[in-house]
A and B are shown apart, each in its own frame.
Chain A
Amino acid sequence: MNEVVSETTSPDATAYRRARRRPLALVGSQDQVEEELFGAVFDGVVLRRFWAFVRPYRRALWIGIAGVLVFTATQIAMPLLIRYAIDRAIAAGADGLALLQTLAIGFMAVVLVNFLSNLAQELAVGRVAGHLLFDLRRAMYAHLQRVSLGFMDKTEVGRLMSRLQGDVNSLQEFLETSIFAVGDLVLLVGICGVLLWLDPRLGGLTLVVVPLLLVVRVLWLPRARRAFLKARETSSAVNGALEENVHGIRAIQAMAREPLNFELFTSKANDNLRAHMRASRFGNAMVPVVEALTGFAMLVVVMVGGGMVLDGDLELGVMVAFLFYVQRFFDPIRSLTVHYSMMQRAMASGQRIFEVLDVPVTVYDSATAKELRPVTPAIAFERVTFGYDASQPVLHDVSFTVAPGQTVALVGPTGSGKTSITALLHRFYDPQTGCVRIDGDDVRDLTLKSLGSHVGMVLQEPLLFSGTIAENIRYRQTGITDEEVMEAARAVGAHDFIMKLPEGYATRLVQRGANLSQGQRQLLSFARALAADTRILVLDEATANVDSETERQIQEALKRLLDGRTAIVIAHRLATIRGADRILVLRQGRLIEQGAHDELVREDGLYARLYRLNHGSFDDLEAADDEARGGHSPQPPDAASGTVIST
């Protein structure tokens, strides 16, 4: 879609237009809808892999297909029975009464079989397709739980969600429609066969309309599809703009963009209207053509067939049966073409689904993996070199140890490798060379499960789930008692604010805990880590500033949390850094200084310079370093600036 750059005309917008330029403005995302790939109708690889998911339900599938065939056969049989009733029973007058009765009962029997086979096929196919939908989604979801985090970092959640939902749906549709397509095909072939069998000449003549219908339909389809696609695209553009208007309303009102946005939206909405009207023209254009062709077939039957009946070459009932069949020609053709597009779409969806299932799982338990001992262990990094992309290491030959119960602070600018160190400790990734040891064991020799239950982690962003506060503190450890939950909350100083909430620990958090303040969320994530009671703790300190009272609480909670555990803290605040037993200074993936605060200050290296600069956040390392080297004098330590570091 093109950017919407519109020349606005309303007096309101003109009033504040300063230059005679076009506004660089748009509403809604200018992104394409995830493009609709129309793949081949049959993609062998996709089908084969798809079959693996269908296999468990193959019995139901065969029942479904058998049902479809029987169902179609009964549909073809009914006009035939009418034909015999007319020609054999009714034509015979009073002598035909018995036969009429037999035929009518036969008709009812066929109706019953029709009902049963219809029930069987629809139920079987519907159930298989339903199962398939959930199975495929489950397989993808379970796989995503295990794939490399590197993949997840690069992939937007929204894109994955569209695969978990849209693509899975279209494969479900695919299964349903492909089976019904079999029925339609059989019906079409069956009708043609019966007509030719009843009377080859009249049949042949009537069937002329079938290829005509097909040709018209095939010519019409690509154009119509473009029109429908366009309508869908403009719809989603309009909805995108509406979404922006809902989510960004505060910003929009604050910046008084309402009149301009409304104009931009109007032009999008009008595009959408035009596209829909066009699609509607296409959608309905086929109706008179189809009806006229059907009418033509009836004309042939009545004129030619009627003439034949008059000449004694054809029975009257056959003509009536012809009229019934003729009116059913178009239904299977129409559904077949609809199914065709659906199958194409499904193949593209299948490719996207299997693409996700093929993302490799790089980290898994080795065959001899063992459990960690329940002690407070030592941590050692031995000459670790690691890069998310092996050719671009983000850690170079990093070695250090953390004694049991010690806290080590990692300091360094963004991109210096702090997060990578914590990720390696938890074995989110494996290093290219060197190894990470916990309690003397290489983490690759430990089970992931035991790493998860012994290495606690507090992320910078306190991620919370929709659920009650107590559930969030417990998280995976569902066995923790209410008292233990409360104790953890009390220990980190969260108890008081929780009790002030309307339902205390049973208060439900809205999405991402948006009904709590940043600091409160932080405290909850501490409580969660404390409740998990792991011997090792990895903590990524939040950078966001909170008010000083909360800050004090957090610092105290931190002390409580680190107490008695072996800990690695990515620290941003001086208070945290100074509280650590040892400080590791990282820069561009290398460990450049390490030691206690006083030692480092005495050593007069980068850390010392930084500390003297009093720059607050140690994330400014790079900038500060340049500044220090450039010989700028440190900022005057006036009253307020001194406070910067602590908050």
Chain B
Amino acid sequence: MSEPIPPLIPWPDGDERAAVGFDGRTLLRITRMAFVYRWRMAVAIGATVLAGVAQILIPLLIGASVDRIHAVLQAGLTDTRRGESDLVVIAAGLFLVAAFRGTVTMLQSYQGEVVGHKMANELRLAYYARLQSLSFTYHDTAHTGELMTRGILDIEGTRMWVHTGILRLFLLVVLLGGGALILARIDGPLTWVALAFVPFVAIGASLTRLKLRSLWYQLQRELGILTRIMEENLGALRLVRAYAAEAFELARFDHVSARARAITHRRIAFFVGSTTGMTLAFFLSMGLVLWIGGERVIEGRLTVGELATFLTFMAILQQPVRQISWMVNSIARASTCGARLFEILDMEPAIADAPSAVDIPDPGDGILRFENVSFGYETEGRKVPLLKNVSLEVGPGEVLGIVGPPGSGKSTLAHLISRFYDPDAGRVTLCGVDLRDLKLAALRRAVASVQQDAYLFTAPLDSNIAYAEPWFDDDALRSAAQTAQLHDHIRTLPRGYRTLVGERGVSLSGGQRQRLAIARAVLPESRVRVLDDAMAAVDAGTEQAILKALAQTAAQPATVIIAHRLSTLRGADQIVFLLDGEVAEHGTHDELLALDGRYAALYRLQTMATA
């Protein structure tokens, strides 16, 4: 019956937002955040209560007008003038109450929204700052899409709590409680009939809303998969064509699309079924009130005006009762969204300034030292050692080359220099000070590191290059681009240095990106320079030109170059061969050749292939 599942269907990202939960502590915390805006909240709540009262007054006034007229008519047509003047008072009252209701509704709604937006703004800023400060250990494991949904959808879900949660609660209590009391004083039994639909609609609507919520997340999950399929396909269209895989690709698309379509239709059926069902319940109640109430009027136990009051009150109550479901939804939403947000906001960054952190000694000796450094990553609760007892030293103006097979710990070593991680044992020092005792910002500004995979910001070339040094001057910028052998290419672009690059801009080749990253690292004056396989996509000729230019820059930082190509390390003062996180060989190029170990073997492998 079920068709076979085609291959290559992406799996969904985990998403716990679908959870239906009630988290009192989280709700309390959000509520407290809202009440920081004490006056606005006071105004909003006051206005909400007044709006509810005004809402109840309208059916009473309508009933009064009908009764007044009815009474005059019953009394015979002699006394119409007095009836008319009463009517003027009631009519004016209706107008004033309606206008008043409009004004307070505006007030409560506006103040509620403002509090929500202000709170969201605070959360957004705190979230942004927290993400900035969380260290690599966190970002390594975090899912970027997930961080985005927290920053967008969860903040939104939390914000809505003020308006759809707190304020609505007040309105419902006033309306339902006050209304029921007043109606009951008019006619107890009829009140039961009139409000019979309330529990039905409230419970039905809430269950529906929660069900719809879970269907919505199911749908989002399928749509997420569909998006992934489309994105991958459109990004790889050349490959799709090359393999004549159009039919195959469409089958993948159709499979997921059909699943999403089925959920969409289920949602529609569910939603429509429940909303129309609730309307039915409401109108049936109204029909009963008309019937029974009409009989009671005929029996003289109720006036026509009171019947009109009942009917109008019901009409007014229809909307808010349905909104109970929104409130229930809001509770679930704010509970999960808030909890997810606070989880991040409450996180302490693993790497932060020590209270006694100092600036880098100036001038200082400028020496970068690794002293018996060991380090490992945490994977599934287990430490996997990556660096073992590494000791190194590079002075200003010196170049240290690092080679080694993949996984030998080269990049990890580079990361420790910028203090993206802290060593488990031993220490890394700059100018003789442990990096953990330096101010983090000062250290990161002193270390210019170029990673393998250069991130491009969606911004013009000049702000991209000047990312670390936004107060650059044009000459410095140009000379940095020249050093990175990028200037000539930039000149050929129509907008030159103002050309937009990055995700939505002009695309750069891998080599150009790497050169940009190098220019970025050259621009600020740094004490340490780290090139982590930074020229892998740059051709060898250009690489030599860059190395030459780097050696000629005015600043003479301590330089660490990690490379696969041994030619990159031609100018290195010393070379380290890393193997399984340990320094296997250490010396100058000639010394290492003479040693005839792994370095020499690698050298032979690379040169032999040429012959």
Contact = CB atoms under 8 A, between A and B. Distances in A.
A428 interface: yes
A21 B469 CA distance: 12
Contacts of A23: 470-471
B231 A295 contact: no
23 contacts: A17-B471, A85-B290, A112-B280, A118-B279, A131-B261, A145-B246, A241-B128, A245-B132, A253-B135, A262-B128, A288-B102, A291-B105, A292-B99, A295-B102, A298-B94, A302-B87, A327-B312, A465-B8, A517-B406, A538-B242, A548-B564, A640-B570, A642-B610
A625 interface: no
A89 B304 CA distance: 12
B609 A290 contact: no
A557 interface: no
B516 to A, nearest CB: 11
A639 B607 contact: yes
A546 interface: yes
Contacts of B66: 316, 319-320
Contacts, number: 495
B121 A26 contact: no
A116 B72 CA distance: 42
A624 interface: yes
Given A130-B265, A287-B109, A548-B606, A306 B91 contact: yes
A157 B472 contact: no
Interface string B281-311: 0011011101100110110000010011001
Given A126-B272, A156-B504, A295-B98, 17 more contacts: A18-B469, A18-B471, A82-B290, A82-B311, A90-B298, A107-B291, A145-B249, A161-B231, A247-B455, A250-B420, A254-B447, A292-B98, A295-B94, A298-B94, A319-B69, A639-B589, A646-B610
B304 to A, nearest CB: 6
A260 B524 CA distance: 16
Contact of A292 (B95, B288, B454, B564): B95
Given A149-B238, A273-B118, A280-B113, A104 B291 contact: yes
Contacts of A562: none
A647 B564 contact: yes
A466 B228 contact: yes
A439 B50 CA distance: 87
Decide if the interface of chain B is mainly helix, strand, loop or mixed. helix
A251 B450 CA distance: 9
B445 A463 contact: no
A238 interface: yes
A645 interface: yes
B6 A296 contact: no
A50 to B, nearest CB: 19
Interface string B235-275: 11111111111101110011001001100110011011101
Contacts of B268: 122-123, 126-127, 130
A85 B294 contact: yes
Contact of A316 (B73, B121, B544, B564): B73
Contacts of B257: 134, 137-138
Nearest to A236: B152
Contacts of A306: 65, 68-69, 83-84, 87, 90-91
B79 to A, nearest CB: 9
A161 B230 CA distance: 8
A570 interface: no
Nearest to A145: B246
Given A130-B264, A146-B246, A255 B606 contact: no
Nearest to A115: B280
Given A19-B471, A287-B109, A641-B570, A544 B238 contact: no
B308 A320 contact: yes
Nearest to A540: B238
A108 B287 contact: yes
A472 B239 CA distance: 12
State the 5 A-B residue pairs at the shortest beta-carbon distance, nearest first: A452-B244, A295-B98, A291-B102, A616-B540, A646-B609
A296 B94 CA distance: 8
Interface string A373-390: 000000000000000000
B444 A254 contact: yes
A130 B462 contact: no
B131 interface: yes
A508 interface: yes
A508 B11 contact: yes
A294 interface: yes
Interface string B461-493: 011001111111100000000000000000000
Interface in B78-97: 80, 83-84, 87-88, 90-92, 94-97
Contact of A647 (B234, B287, B502, B565): B565
Contact of A471 (B8, B286, B290): B8
B346 to A, nearest CB: 18
Contacts of A320: 62, 66, 308, 311
B363 interface: no
Interface stretch (B143-151, B172-180, B322-330): B143-151
Contacts of A574: 610
Contacts of B290: 81-82, 85, 103-104, 107
B340 interface: no
B125 A265 contact: yes
Given A257-B467, A467-B8, A299 B541 contact: no
Contacts of A428: 238, 241
Contacts of B467: 25, 251, 255, 257
Contacts of A310: 69, 72-73, 77, 80, 83-84, 87
Contact of B102 (A93, A292, A575, A643): A292
A21 B472 CA distance: 9
Given A134-B261, A242-B151, A115 B504 contact: no
Which residue among A244, A552, A555 has the maximum number of chain B CB atoms within 10 Å of its CB?
A: A244
Interface string A278-291: 00110111011111
A592 to B, nearest CB: 21
Q: How large is the interface on B (under 10, 10 to 19, 20 to 34, 35 or more residues)?
A: 35 or more
B597 interface: no
Interface in A443-482: 448-453, 455-457, 459, 463, 465-467, 471-472, 474-476, 478
A61 interface: no
A40 interface: no
Contact of A265 (B73, B128, B240): B128
A270 B406 CA distance: 46
Contact of B95 (A119, A273, A298): A298
B124 interface: yes
Contacts of A152: 234, 237
B591 interface: no
A1 B456 CA distance: 20
Which residue among A81, A258, A320, A456 has the maximum number of chain B CB atoms within 10 Å of its CB?
A: A320
Contacts of B416: none
Interface string B146-188: 0110011000000000000000000000000000000000000
B541 A161 contact: no
A406 interface: no
Interface in A150-171: 152, 156-158, 160-161, 164-165
Contacts of B462: 24
A432 interface: no
Contacts of B567: 640-641, 643-644
B264 A246 contact: no
Nearest to A126: B268
A134 B570 CA distance: 59
Nearest to B81: A310
Contacts of A615: 539-541
Nearest to B6: A478
Interface in B369-426: 405-406, 418, 420
A624 to B, nearest CB: 7
B287 A31 contact: no
A366 interface: no
B473 A19 contact: yes
A311 interface: yes
